[in-house]
Amino acid sequence: MSAASPRFLWRRGFTLMEVMVAVMLIAVAMTTLMQLRNDSVGRAANGRSLSVAARLASQLLHEIEAAQVLDLFDGMNGDFAEDGFDDFSYVIALGDGSNYAENDDIDSNSPEWAWRDSLREREEDRVDEEGDAQRPEKTRVVIRVQYLSFDLEEREYRLEAMIDSWAVYRDFELYRELWGSNNEDRDAIQ
C-alpha cells in the first residue's frame, strides 16, 4: 500500500497543460465580455446623443413655430452652446428649393421628388392681383443637427416639418389676414 500512496498524491494536483487551458478559456471569456460591455456602452452613448439631437431639433422647431427666431434665413446655422451642448450644431433650411435641405438619398424618380417639384411650381405661381409674389400658407422647414457619435463619427439628425409661413418669416400681417383679430390686446403688442 505504501507504494500506491505517492501515486495518488501526484494525481490530486493540476497539470501545467490543464492550468494553461483554464487560463486561456478565462482570457477568451473576459475578452468577449469586455467587448460586449464596450459595445453596449457605445450604443447607449450613441442613443443618448441621438436623443439629445432630437430634443434640440424639436426645441428649435417649436421656437420657429412660435415666431421666436429673429432674422431666420435659409442656411442659418449655429450651435447649442447656450443650452450646454457645444458638440451639437445645426443648419436650418427654408422652403422646398433650399440647397441646405437636399437629401442625397432621394431618387429623382420617386413620388417624394415629384411632390417637391409640384410644391416648388405652386410656390412660384402664387402671385396676387398687383403682381407681387405671395407667400404660401405653409413653408417647409428642415433642421439638420450634426453631432459626434461615441466612435467619433459625424452623425446627423434631420427633422422636417411644414410650418405656417407667417411664423417662419415673422409676417404678422399675413397672420392677421389668415386668422383675423381675435384679441385686440395682442394686436396692440405687435
For residue range 26-70, list pLDDT tens digits in order.
Answer: 999 999 999 999 999 999 999 999 999 999 999 999 999 988 888
Closest CA to 145 of 85, 87, 90, 108: 90
**Tell me, what's the pLDDT at 173?**
76
- pTM of the model as a whole: 0.65
Q: How does residue 116 score in pLDDT terms, banded at 50, 70 and 90?
A: low
Q: 76-80 and 154-164: which strand pairing?
A: unpaired
Question: Average pLDDT of the chain?
Answer: 79
What's the Cα-to-Cα distance from 185 to each of 77, 178, 188, 189, rounded to whole Å?
34, 18, 5, 6
